[in-house]
């Protein structure tokens, strides 16, 4: 690919694996970052995500905000998964092989299983732990802030080998 690649995955995903020379513009922040498109010389831009779904959403946002005529855009169908499957090179800044969000899902799943099991075996009041975890997930979904993810990011296996993305 000779065109500019805009990666609309989230930062944790990008750090784990990215295409050298690509620009990170997470879908969750895309509307705020759209003015950057005016600063880029007119060229072909490929929008990429994990599989292609978020890239399509990104293109809809770009067009809806009037930036669709600035460049020639295309979606890389199949996303970075296809890029890797085709044998193309990727880079990584992460020491971790599992994304932070997957680690959150694993930890939450284990905690829920332990809490439910302990409530049956020892004390029914332990089920309140499951309610607390559910409340944390609800808060994370409503606020966009996941405290567990922030804690997991700071663990030694999740520290980056290279400098962080700003």
**Catalytic residue set:** 49
List the one residue out of 77, 103, 88 whose CA is nearest residue 12: 103
Alpha-carbon gap, residue 87 to 84, rounded angstroms:
5
Contacts within 8 Å (CB) and 24+ apart, 120-125: none
Alpha-carbon gap, residue 149 to 166, rounded angstroms:
18
Angle in degrees, CA 14, 4, 95, rounded to 5: 20
CA–CA distances in Å: residue 38 to residues 3, 35, 51, 116, 142: 16, 6, 26, 53, 32
């Amino acid at each position: 690919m000779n065109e500019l690649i805009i990666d609309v995955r989230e930062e944790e995903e990008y750090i784990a694996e990215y295409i050298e020379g690509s620009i990170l513009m997470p879908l969750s922040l895309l509307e705020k970052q759209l003015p950057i498109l005016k600063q880029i010389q007119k060229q072909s831009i490929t929008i990429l995500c994990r599989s292609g779904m978020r890239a399509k959403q990104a293109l809809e946002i770009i067009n809806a905000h009037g930036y669709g005529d600035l460049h020639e855009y295309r979606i890389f169908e199949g996303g970075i998964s296809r890029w890797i499957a085709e044998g193309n090179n990727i880079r990584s800044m992460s020491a971790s092989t599992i994304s932070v969000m997957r680690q959150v899902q694993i930890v939450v799943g284990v905690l829920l299983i332990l809490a439910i099991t302990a409530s049956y075996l020892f004390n029914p009041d332990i089920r309140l732990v499951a309610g607390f975890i559910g409340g944390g997930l609800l808060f994370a979904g409503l606020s966009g802030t996941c405290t567990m993810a922030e804690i997991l990011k700071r663990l030694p296996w999740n520290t980056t080998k290279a400098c962080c993305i700003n």
